Copies of this chain bind each other. A is one copy, B any other.
Amino acid sequence: MERKRTIEVATERATLDGKRVHIAGWLHSFRRLGGITFLLVRDGWGLLQAVSENDAEIAALLESGVGVESIIVVEGTVHVEDQAPGGVELHNLSVEVLNAVSKTPPISLNKRKLSANAVTLLDHAPVANRHPVRRATLRLSGGIMSGFRDILTSENFTEIQTPKIVAAATEGGANVFQLDYFGRPAYLAQSPQFYKQIMVGIFERVFEVGPVFRAEPHDTTRHLNEYVSLDAEFGFIQDHTEVMALLRDVLAHVFALLGECYATELALLHVQLPHVPSEIPAIHFADAQELIFAQHNVDVRGEPDLSPQDERWLGAWAQQEFGSDLLFVTGYPMRKRPFYTHPDPQRPEYSNSFDLLFRGTELVTGGQRLHRYTDYIAALEQAQLPLEPFRYYLTAFEHGMPPHGGFAIGMERLLMQLLDIPNIKLATLFPRDLHRLVP
């Protein structure tokens, strides 16, 4: 008899009713009430209940040393039962134990509510991530990556994988991990920025899903030292508004795919997917500062960047004014943006760049980049950066690059904001932070 998946038994319960099936998985829970035993079996598709009124059937589970999380195979007769989880259960059981587990899990995996604190969950991630709430949370990462890739592939973007070991810091600054590369110093890539731009010269449209590394010595609930960046870059744009339009479509597609293919996870987590309007509202950086002054009587005009409080105010305004979870802030001052940022031709102290705020927190950064070789030379000089480490990057521009731009979405941050998770580390399978290298 071929193994059935738990979800198959539930969705095909009408046709399977009365038939014998076998399922396999983890012994999720084991309860005895009076003379009746209720088992929940968990596999990669869900949970299924099996019920026995005869201990001889489940003798294998009554042996000492067979506890929850044991690996079992259950054969039984399908019985439609609207009260049971999934509307179906198995009767007349025959149970085999494939791998007996006696050790008690470090947290209760079969309590509906996840009550352990973040440190416990992270310390015991290899087992704690089995909890249905953790499992559903982490599975959504797969959907985010799928949605991101699907729409970009359909728009003729080519997927790339760029080097993670690099000769020099990408974005400048000290927040870079150094490693020993056959006796020479090398660094972990802080972003695929330079390589994805170079690849615009080769494929015109590219994307990458990969790890980036930031040696920021901050111990907060918003920092990860290794995270997954969803990067896109493409050529022949007019300006940053085309990048924003693409990003809008990407997010709309990601949320649509989650709604379609991850409905079980979203229901379990009580998540309401945000509505992505056909045009996401946008406000210029300078206007945003004026708005904050007018609304909150706090004068941030002249500040080169927005504070987290500013972002929260703007997020609330977008919600109130447009009913939107999403808000573009455009035109950040050039002096706070990296050297490759393209200025606004009309107001060169502002840039053709943007941040996307999602529920009042920055989720995506993007914009138009410089594309003329001479502009790069001038920008590096102005930033007082040496040319030599950038030589390989500059050759792409020396040999012709179109106007181009792109963006980077922090995957874990998207998941955190979407699920309202208080700590970004819980949006990660196995986070890396100032203190945590294990598991």
Contact = CB atoms under 8 A, between A and B. Distances in A.
A301 interface: no
A126 B392 contact: yes
Given A182-B215, A211-B211, A395-B127, A160 B188 contact: no
Interface string A152-184: 010010111111111100000000011111101
A202 interface: yes
Nearest to A105: B399
B400 A139 contact: no
Nearest to A109: B399
A438 B402 contact: no
A69 B398 CA distance: 9
Interface in A232-290: 235-236
A179 B182 contact: no
B44 A156 contact: yes
A124 B395 contact: yes
Size range of the chain A interface in the assembly: 35 or more
Interface stretch (A140-148, A331-339, A359-367): A140-148
Interface string A6-27: 0000000000000000001111
Given A25-B204, A134-B202, 7 more contacts: A44-B235, A125-B392, A126-B198, A126-B396, A161-B211, A165-B437, A182-B217
Interface of A: 3, 5, 24-27, 43-45, 69-71, 98-99, 101, 103, 105-106, 124-127, 129-130, 134-135, 138-139, 141-142, 145-146, 149, 153, 156, 158-167, 177-182, 184, 186, 188, 195, 198-199, 201-205, 209-211, 213, 215, 217, 225-226, 228, 235-236, 371-372, 392-393, 395-396, 398-403, 411, 429-430, 432, 434, 437-439
Contacts of A146: 149, 153, 159
A402 B181 contact: no
